[in-house]
Amino acid sequence: MQEVVLVVDDDKAILGYTAELLTGIGANVLSCNSPVEALAIIKEKPIAIVVSDYYMPEMTGLELFSRMREFSHSIVKILMTSKADLAMAVGAINSGEVFRFLSKPWQDAEMVAAVRDGARRYRMMLASSEDMEFLLHALGQTIELKDPLTKGHCERVATYAEIIARRMGLDMEAKHDLKVGSWLHDCGKIGVPEAILNAERGLTDGEMEVVRKHPIWGATVAEAANMPAVVVNIILHHHEYYNGRGYPIGLATDAIPLEARIVAAADVYDALRSSRPYRPGFSYSDTRCIMASMSGNQLDPAILATLFEGLEEYRDEEGDHPLPPPL
């Protein structure tokens, strides 16, 4: 069993016994006696299963499970309690909050079976998630076929967005939503005629109006597909300007969702660095100067500074910045 199992119980004797039992079946076990400490671990490490006591001083096991969703939706949750509160157990299982419920004192075989079943459940969810991720990535690449000159753009935007997210200390769930949102940020362009997308001239006012509709079209599709709100917001708001003069709504400063501000900076950086029929891609130093003029106007100054701080890690011998490898 390669999956990481986190055991949480304020009773150190039970904590030690449970951890030893699960280690004995080959599980990769972490343990702690504080739900607050458990949240810190979950934020930093890829946890597959959490086995938690219900009654703990800082918060209940169910409260812990609820807080865990801030960092991951895929963790399998197993709850144990010394009080056979059947109504609470059934409610937690029916609501999807809990995968298994064990009443103390549980039998070793019950715990082992619950964790092994949990590992199988986690693998199934992970496989399903990876299949969905493949499809979303493929969709982003399909959209790029309408504008061949943008080949690889969505993947590069995702890479730059993660550089920013990593330096900002965002959690794994936020990073994942940023990646998907980066892949799909231009999905609304599927409704923009190729003659407009591939025009080798300035667009007319009417054509620009069509282009400016793509965030709304894309967000509508993402909502219909039950994409997370963060992904929908990235698609809808990545062309908002920090000074409120962007589109489609005209949001400004912190009213623009954080993730959309991150993708906006990554999007502009890659657009400037990429070649177009009417101009070659700008050098790193020229791109930095151009984007400095956008700070506080089009782009969030703090996020822009974070992007360039992160890019400094990739400076080559000539002082330029080749595309970093996917993170």
Please indicate whether residue 91 or residue 5 has the higher confidence score (pLDDT).
5
Cα separation, 52 vs 286, whole angstroms: 54
- Percent pLDDT > 70 in the chain is 79
**So what's the pLDDT on residue 134?**
60
* Average pLDDT for the chain: 83
Q: Which residues pair with 30 in a beta bridge?
A: 6
**3-state SS assignment for residue 169:** coil
DSSP 295: B
pLDDT tens for each residue of 109-132: 999 999 999 988 888 766 555 555
CB neighbourhood size of 307 (10 A): 23
pLDDT tens for each residue of 63-105: 898 888 777 778 899 998 876 565 666 656 555 578 888 888 8
Burial of 48 (0-12, 13-18, 19+ CB in 10 A): buried
**So what's the pLDDT on residue 21?**
94
**So what's the pLDDT on residue 301?**
97
**So what's the pLDDT on residue 326?**
45
Fold (topology level) of 4-124: Rossmann fold (3.40.50)
Q: Is pLDDT at 299 greater than 80 in this prediction?
A: yes
Please state the φ and ψ torsions of residue 31, each to the nearest 5 degrees.
-145, 150
Amino acid at the residue 144? E
Q: Is pLDDT at 163 greater than 90 in this prediction?
A: yes
pLDDT-wise least confident of 25-29, 162-166, 235-239, 319-323: 319-323
What value does the mean pLDDT take over residues 1-8? 87
Tokens 């667009």 sit at which residue?
A: 203
Please indicate whether residue 293 or residue 203 has the higher confidence score (pLDDT).
293
pLDDT-wise least confident of 21-30, 32-41, 202-211, 229-238: 202-211
Of 187, 48, 232, give the one whose Cα is nearest residue 125. Answer: 48
**So what's the pLDDT on residue 37?**
94
**So what's the pLDDT on residue 85?**
61
Q: Is pLDDT at 46 greater than 70 in this prediction?
A: yes
Residues of the chain with CATH 1.10.3210.10: 145-314
- Is residue 161 within 8 Å of 179, Cβ to Cβ? yes
Fold (topology level) of 145-314: Hypothetical protein af1432 (1.10.3210)
Query: Residue ranges of the alpha helices (H) in the chain?
Result: 12-24, 35-44, 61-68, 86-94, 108-144, 153-168, 172-184, 194-197, 205-211, 214-224, 229-237, 258-273, 284-292, 301-311
Which pTM value belongs to this model? 0.61
Q: Give the highest mean pLDDT range of 144-158, 254-268, 273-287.
A: 254-268
CA distances to 170, 188, 287, 299, 305 from 312, rounded to whole Å, are 20, 33, 14, 19, 11
Cα separation, 205 vs 190, whole angstroms: 20
Residues of the chain with CATH 3.40.50.2300: 4-124
Q: Is pLDDT at 213 greater than 70 in this prediction?
A: yes
- Percent pLDDT > 90 in the chain is 41
What value does the mean pLDDT take over residues 216-231? 84
